[in-house]
């Protein structure tokens, strides 16, 4: 759905001299950037939550060792990255099969 909204943008990139693979790499890089931002924000939320729980337990004289399941977090982030790249580049690749001149005239 996002690709259908950006067909004209992709066509302009092609008309200005970008190759099909450059446009697809750009689309994949944008997807990875979104996943990285989401991962960092999620990690920040987890750290803030763990810090609050740690300080609340410290008031009760309990010394917990807050830990994060790093392997599960990394696997989840990698799966999200793979899914995002495939979901972004596949529709873009299909849309880029048409000539850029035809795509530039598409109405949104």
11 burial (CB, 10 Å; 0-12 / 13-18 / 19+) is: buried
pLDDT in tens, 7-33: 888 888 888 998 999 999 999 999 999
pLDDT in tens, 37-85: 999 999 999 889 988 888 888 888 887 777 778 899 899 999 999 999 9
- Can you say how many angstroms the Cα of residue 49 is from the centroid of all Cα atoms in its chain? 23
Q: Residue holding tokens 């697809």?
A: 24
Q: What's the mean pLDDT when you consider all of the chain?
A: 87
Q: Is the pLDDT assigned to residue 104 strictly greater than 70?
A: no
What confidence category does residue 1 fall into, taking pLDDT thresholds of 50, 70 and 90?
Answer: low
Report d(CA 9, CA 55) in Å as an integer.
Answer: 49
Identify the helix (H) or strand (E) that includes residue 106: none
SS3 content of the chain, % helix, strand, coil (to 5): 80, 0, 20
């Amino acid at each position: 759905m996002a690709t259908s909204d950006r067909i004209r943008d992709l066509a302009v990139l092609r008309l200005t001299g970008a190759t099909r693979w450059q446009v697809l790499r750009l689309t994949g890089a944008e997807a990875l950037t979104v996943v990285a931002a989401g991962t960092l924000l999620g990690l920040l939320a987890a750290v803030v939550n763990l810090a609050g729980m740690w300080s609340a337990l410290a008031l009760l004289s309990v010394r917990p060792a807050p830990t994060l399941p790093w392997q599960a977090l990394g696997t989840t982030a990698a799966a999200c990255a793979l899914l995002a790249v495939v979901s972004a580049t596949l529709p873009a690749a299909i849309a880029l099969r048409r000539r850029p001149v035809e795509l530039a005239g598409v109405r949104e």
